[in-house]
Amino acid sequence: MAFAKEPPHQHGTVGGSAIVLVNLGTPDAPTRGAVRRYLKQFLSDQRVVEIPKAVWWFILHGIILPFRSGQSAKKYASIWTEDGSPLRLHTQSQAMLLHEALAARGHHDVTVAMAMRYGTPALPDVLARLKADGCDRIAILPAYPQYSGTTTGSIWDAVFSHYRKIRNIPELRLVKNYHDHEAYIEALRQNVLAHWEQHGRGQKLVMSFHGVPKRTLLLGDPYHCECHKTARLLAAKLRLREDEYLVTFQSRFGKAEWLQPYTAPTVQKLAQEGVQRIDVICPGFTSDCLETLEEISMEVRHDFLTAGGKEFHYIPCLNESPAWIVALAEIAEQHMIGWPTLTTAPQRARQQNDAAIGRERALALGAAE
């Protein structure tokens, strides 16, 4: 295997530290062509679809991509903003605010970058850029609070695949999950209470998580359990009784059984049973995106109202809420323990001087050879 060409190691230098906030991804535009490229990359990941590769290739290229790309493009167009994809914009803002929050805590020597597992900016490209910038310690922070092999596991695949071709691999720290992190649960609590303070409170709080095939649970994936733990902790923080909230799963795809209960049929049943108002939150999504803005706030809203419901309130994702940025900073900080990130101005000056001396020595050694 050929390794990528790298610059010579510079003795005496102190490498930088970085946090990479990784989200799922989004098409570059709400067009058929852009959506097709995105779906092809996403649905070709065997972590996402575990059907035998040869069989799935025929289904994907013969049925799904030709017919679903146009339909999905219309859905993306319904939530697209003048500045682009909501998911990309929120993730970019979160990365910027996280950098500011870490600096406010004294972590001045930390780069914060945003990457996407599918689409752009591609995770391998971001990792390559950080290496070129001299980062020798990198913490990967997925935007998924609950771990699943279909999401966080796929990020690890991309990270390991990238570094297979790198000779001098940086120190890596991988944030597996934070579904029960106190600051994350507190951010959710504040988000719900802020909505209730402004709009009143519904009869039921529906916590809708992204679905995955049921077989993943049976084969050992912890996602289902972590979703329920998040829901229990949030309900406890909100002081909800068991009959005041529900856990559901959305975004089912294909004919196989997925985690249940499904969100759309559940809210329809609530309306048919006489529940007039529900509030829906998606705790597993940290940025609003197609699955929250179009699927929940548009499609599921329609399902509830047409089934007889009177009021449907979608509670937005954490997005740029101050409590969520605090949570991100705490999670990142806990995974940088021991790294030289708390640097004073005199220390930075000494590091820069040491780096300059190291470069001069490297040049001298090169000339001597």
pLDDT digits (tens, 9 = 90+) for 343-362: 554 455 555 555 455 556 54
pLDDT digits (tens, 9 = 90+) for 239-281: 999 999 999 999 998 889 999 999 999 999 999 999 999 999 9
The answer to whether the beta carbons of residues 11 and 365 sit under 8 Å apart is no
Least confident of 3-17, 156-170, 183-197, 332-346: 3-17
What percent of the chain clears pLDDT 70, i.e. is strictly above it?
91
The answer to whether the beta carbons of residues 2 and 326 sit under 8 Å apart is no
Query: Above 80 in pLDDT, residue 23?
Result: yes
Residue 357, pLDDT score: 53
359 CB-near residues (< 8 Å, 6+ apart): 10, 13
Give the model's confidence band at 15: pLDDT under 50 very low, under 70 low, under 90 confident, else very high: confident
Q: Look at 235 and 346; give whichever has higher pLDDT.
A: 235
pLDDT digits (tens, 9 = 90+) for 140-174: 999 999 999 999 999 999 999 999 999 999 999 99
Rounded CA-CA distance 22/45 in Å is 16
Annotation: binding site: 210, 291
On average, the pLDDT of the chain sits at 92
Tokens of 102: 């870490």
Residue 369, pLDDT score: 43
Average pLDDT on 212-219 reads 96
Annotation: binding site for Fe(2+): 210, 291
Q: Look at 189 and 362; give whichever has higher pLDDT.
A: 189
Domains contained in the chain, CATH given: 16-179+322-347 (3.40.50.1400), 182-315 (3.40.50.1400)
DSSP collapsed to 3 states, the chain: CCCCCCCCCCCCCCCEEEEEEEEEEECCCCCHHHHHHHHHHHHCCCCCCCCCHHHHHHHHHHHHHHHHHHHHHHHHHHHCECCECHHHHHHHHHHHHHHHHHHHCCECCEEEEEEEEEECCEHHHHHHHHHHCCEEEEEEEECCCCCCCCCHHHHHHHHHHHHCCCCCCCEEEECCCCCCCHHHHHHHHHHHHHHHHHHCCCCEEEEEEECCEHHHHHCCCCHHHHHHHHHHHHHHHHCCCHHHEEEEEECCCCCCCECCCEHHHHHHHHHHCCCCEEEEECCCCCCCCHHHHHHHHHHHHHHHHHCCCCEEEEECCCCCCHHHHHHHHHHHHHCCCCCCCECCHHHHHHHHHHHHHHHHHHHHHHHHC
